[in-house]
Amino acid sequence: MKDIAELALDVAVSSGASYADCRVVQRGIQALAVKDGSFAAVSSFEDEGVGIRVIVDGGWGFAGVDRLDSDSLGEAARTACRIARASSRLRRQAVRLAPCPVAVGEYRTPFERDPFEVSLEEKMDLLIRADEAMASVEGVTTHEASLEFVREHRLFASSEGSVIEQVLVQSGGGMDATATSADDVQTRSFPNSFGRHQVCAGYEAIEGLDFAGNAPRIAAESVALLSAPPCPTGRLTLILDGTQAALQVHESCGHPTELDRVRGDEAAYAGTSFLTPDLVGRFRYGSEQVTIAADATTPGGLGTYGWDDEGVAAQRTVLVDRGLFRGYMSSRETAADYGWLSSGAMRAESWNRIPLIRMTNVNLEPGQSSLEEMIATTEHGVYLETNRSWSIDDRRLNFQFGTQNGWEIRDGRRVRLVKNALYAGRTPDFWRSCDAVAGPSEWRVWGVVNCGKGQPSQVMHVGHGAAPCRFRGVAVTAAS
């Protein structure tokens, strides 16, 4: 790998690049799925290629190629330089990069059981047992379970002298049970919706999920939801489970604290941000209960690594400190605009994409409450579990979320299951209404595997540490 990178960098520099970096990536993905007791499939995906990013005449260029012979690498490096020259025709100011120490090192995801060494029989057996357990519940119409494992071997090298090798391993899985009636469809998922929950870890993470034990529960809940009443409507006290809190953090804090959005780099696609730099240090984003940090060192998080894809070391960056807006996730280029250093949040989906500012692990720090205490001290409200729908405007202010499951709370007790719950609000008003976050024992790192950004589109796996949390006076209603 190192030879490949050196060759590409040599050609780039000799072709006029004032800066160049090269990422050699080998990626393997194994996916297994079982559905409705009859469909079963195992698939594997191997991916290998090189991405070369350069600055020539002050403009950026990038070329990705999946052929690793010297001719193809040389051609790709020259193509990147040609593209950069085209870019430089439409730049008022040359690209500037914030300084970054030259890094030489290695990082490997720690794990107990290599998921690629676990037999397919063992994995398939787990899925079949989960699928059968869901099928055993009367009224369930479709049910499926899946696993996915990723191993990524990356080498980063730059013309500044950095050479970094990393091996990242992910394990994930999930299951869905759906019940239907003539006029309704209800789905429950475990441990999270939209496919699966995933972490940077080995197969031990899957063993800890207890698929078979939770399968009958979610299947029974999907059936029960068909006859459940709609979620109550009004300004209510809202308690979110950890998975929904994680997505709320993702959409309303993670994205607006990406500094490229503030610059307008994503204005035509992902959008901008309401959190402008003049607000740093003086804007009350949330209540005193709310501290949120981007932390690429969180054990098990999908955004955990040794260095980002610009060679900047993994670090923790406070975004919101006890309610006060404090800072951003940034890159070397965006940080340079403000005289800052990069926060080490540049990540690329694979060799064929440029790194962009992406969430690492954006964590809502644990508080001191508990789910039990929050419910016990709620007069009238709802406890909502597992995301079903999410939408937010391009500045990340006006949001509306829906969940699969809900419980109405009266006088400190869960009194009944409710369905089709929606809640809506404006980001700072919502986080300012947060009056409790559960403590470390209920805090867990969740994985989001469908975060889209950039053109060409990149899907990133990001992490969120979160625990159940409570909000007062939120607009809650039911979809109808």
Partner 1 sequence: MSLRAPDDLLALADSILERVGRDRAEVVVVEHEEGLTRFARNQIHQNVAERSRRLRLRLMGDEQVGVAEVRGEVDDLPGRLVAAAEAARRLSPPGDVTPLPRPDAGPDGPVAHSAATAACTPEWRADQVATVAAKSAVAGLEAFGAIQTSLTHTAVANSLGVRRHAESTAASLVCVTRGENGWGYADQHHHDAARIDAEAVAEEAVETCGRNQGAIAVGPGVYPVVLSPYAVADLVGHLSDLGFSALAHQEHRSFMRPGERLMSPLVSIADDASHPGGMPFPFDDEGVSTRGVTCIEEGVCRSFVHDSATALRGDVPSTGHALPMPNTFGPWARHLVVSSGESSLDELIAGCDGGLYVTRLWYVRDVHPLRTVITGMTRDGTFLIENGRLGRPVRDLRFTQSIVDALADVRGVGRERSIELDEGERAMLVPALGIGRFAFTS
Which residues inside 45-64 make contact with partner 1, applying CB under 8 A? 45-49, 59-64
Chain position carrying tokens 């730099």: 277
Q: Tell me the pairing of strands 380-392 and 234-240.
A: parallel
Contact flags string 5-44 toward partner 1, x per CB under 8 A: ----------------------------xxx--xxxxxxx
Question: Which of 86, 102, 376, 415 is the binder for partner 1 (CB under 8 A)?
Answer: 86
C-alpha–C-alpha distance, residues 395 and 121, integer Å: 47
Interface with partner 1 in residues 276-305 (CB under 8 A):
none
- Site for partner 1 contains 429 (CB under 8 A): no
H-state helical runs in 411-455? 427-432
Measured from the CB atom, the residue of 136 and 141 that comes closer to partner 1 is: 141
- Site for partner 1 contains 115 (CB under 8 A): no
- Site for partner 1 contains 151 (CB under 8 A): no
Measured from the CB atom, the residue of 38 and 441 that comes closer to partner 1 is: 38
DSSP line for 92-143: SS----------EEEEE---SS-TTTS-HHHHHHHHHHHHHHHHTSTTEEEE
- Site for partner 1 contains 97 (CB under 8 A): no
Question: Which of 3, 6, 69, 210 is the binder for partner 1 (CB under 8 A)?
Answer: 69
> What is the chain's alpha carbon radius of gyration, rounded to the nearest angstrom?
23
Q: Least distance from C-beta 441 to partner 1, angstroms?
A: 33
Interface with partner 1 in residues 195-254 (CB under 8 A):
none
- Site for partner 1 contains 420 (CB under 8 A): yes
C-alpha–C-alpha distance, residues 402 and 247, integer Å: 11
E strand residue ranges, 306-368 = 316-321, 324-325, 346-347, 356-357, 362-364
- Site for partner 1 contains 180 (CB under 8 A): yes
Classify residue 40 as exposed, middle or buried by CB count within 10 Å of its CB (0-12, 13-18, 19+): middle
Q: Least distance from C-beta 90 to partner 1, angstroms?
A: 4
- Site for partner 1 contains 428 (CB under 8 A): no
- Site for partner 1 contains 124 (CB under 8 A): yes
Classify residue 89 as exposed, middle or buried by CB count within 10 Å of its CB (0-12, 13-18, 19+): exposed
- Site for partner 1 contains 416 (CB under 8 A): no
Q: Least distance from C-beta 339 to partner 1, angstroms?
A: 19
Interface with partner 1 in residues 370-399 (CB under 8 A):
389-394, 398
Measured from the CB atom, the residue of 45 and 108 that comes closer to partner 1 is: 45
Beta pairing partners, 464: 446
- Site for partner 1 contains 128 (CB under 8 A): yes
- Site for partner 1 contains 265 (CB under 8 A): yes
C-alpha–C-alpha distance, residues 245 and 386, integer Å: 9
What token pair was written down for 192?
Answer: 């999270």
- Site for partner 1 contains 4 (CB under 8 A): no
- Site for partner 1 contains 71 (CB under 8 A): no
